[in-house]
Amino acid sequence: MIKQSRREFIKKAGLVTAGAAGATTLAAPAVIAQAPIKWRLQTYAGAALGPHVTKPAVDMFNAAAKGEMEIELYYADQLVPTGELFRAMQAGTIDAVHSDDDSMAAPVEISVFGGYFPFATKHILDVPVLFNQYGLADIWREQYKAAGGVVWLSAAGQDPCHFNTKKPINSLADLQGLRLYTFPTAGRFLAQFGVVPVSIPYEDVQVAVQTGELDGMSWSGITEDYTVGWADVTDHFTTNNISGAWIGSWFANEKKWADTPEHLKQLWLACVDAGHTYRNQWYWGGEAKLRATGDKLKLTTVPAEEWAQVEAAAMTFWDEIAAESEMKAKVVAIFKEYNEILHKAGGVYTQG
């Protein structure tokens, strides 16, 4: 809206000047209502999971924006396949995304670290620490700026990556030949242990287990298994994980973000942060309670001395990724620094 001075407004309104006789009553100016700004946001999460991981932030924003702006939420694959989220957002087909870089095939070097980069984290709060205290936020921001068309806004952690399967996993040998739904990089890592990674639409996963197309999933923690119905079609949950927290982010189309008024940008970022806080407690509490009291999945564990082979393989995998580029080496160095600090500190579960 073009601003004008009070004098110009009075002249255009045809009011009498100070020299004119008599008093003039100034009627209230007509206000032309502006249509609300509309965004279409698609999340990686399906209709059962989305209400916990994405919808809280959207609902909070829509209520607080008071009609100035509205975000329409779509769940996994409703508008475009998850693997096409980046391109669709870049082209303006959709306006915003909540996803990990890996799943949405972002054409940036750091996409391999999104989702579950093997053993990069131990726990959900490691993700905001890595982004806000160890420099990952600056790296992600610059990577997407260079890619063009998309703005990276925020990252947070979610659940650890375990196995929920039809048959029990009590040793590494039990992984051989398992057809598992998993993330691209996680699948690349697990293939060396005989896992067969399978990529299908998110909403088809549960039926795929029932029909025998899949043997299970390596995609989430136990909170999600119960929430989305996967605990109804699998029988076992392996307590060993290949990563302590999912690394996911929120993004927006570059032009849409630039055109959004500053106060609405700040409001959206605040609502996204509030959503992070909700997920922290929802996942953390669920992981503990469902292992302790859940009655659908039987818990199994690969012995620590055997699982150490997987952890050692992850360090080799890190070095292979680091050798691919200077940028990847920079991120791997940050993971190594942080994990060394956790090791020296004794871990969050160490008893005093």
Specify the pLDDT at position 346. 87
- Residue 348 has which token pair? 């969050």
90 found inside a domain: yes
Looking up residue 117, the CATH number of its domain turns out to be: 3.40.190.170
Query: Does 213 fall in a domain?
Result: no
pLDDT confidence of residue 20: 40
For residue 25, give both structure tokens. Answer: 């009553």
**Closest residue by Cα to residue 158 from 306, 50, 237:** 50
Number of domains in the chain: 1
Burial class (CB in 10 A: 0-12, 13-18, 19+), 117: buried
pLDDT at residue 127, as a whole number: 98
Distances (CA, A) of 302 to 151, 239, 306, 308, 331: 41, 8, 7, 10, 29
Distance (Å, whole) CA 25 – CA 219: 69
Domain range for 64: 37-158+245-294
pLDDT of residue 13: 39
Residue 231 lies in a domain: no
- Within a domain: 324: no
User: Does residue 316 fall inside a structural domain?
Assistant: no
Amino acid 348: pLDDT: 67
Comparing C-alpha atoms, which of 181, 42, 60, 141 is closest to residue 99?
A: 42
How confident is the model at residue 311, as a pLDDT? 97
In a domain, 61, yes or no: yes
* Cα distance from N-terminal residue to C-terminal residue, the chain: 61
In a domain, residue 280? The reply is yes
Average pLDDT per consecutive 10 residues, the chain (352 residues; last block may be shorter): 36 40 44 78 97 98 98 98 97 98 97 97 96 98 98 97 98 98 97 97 96 98 98 98 97 98 98 97 97 98 98 98 98 97 78 53
Q: Which residues contact 40 (CB under 8 A, 6 or more apart)?
A: 71, 72, 74, 79, 94, 95, 96
Residue 33: predicted pLDDT? 55
102 occurs within a structural domain: yes
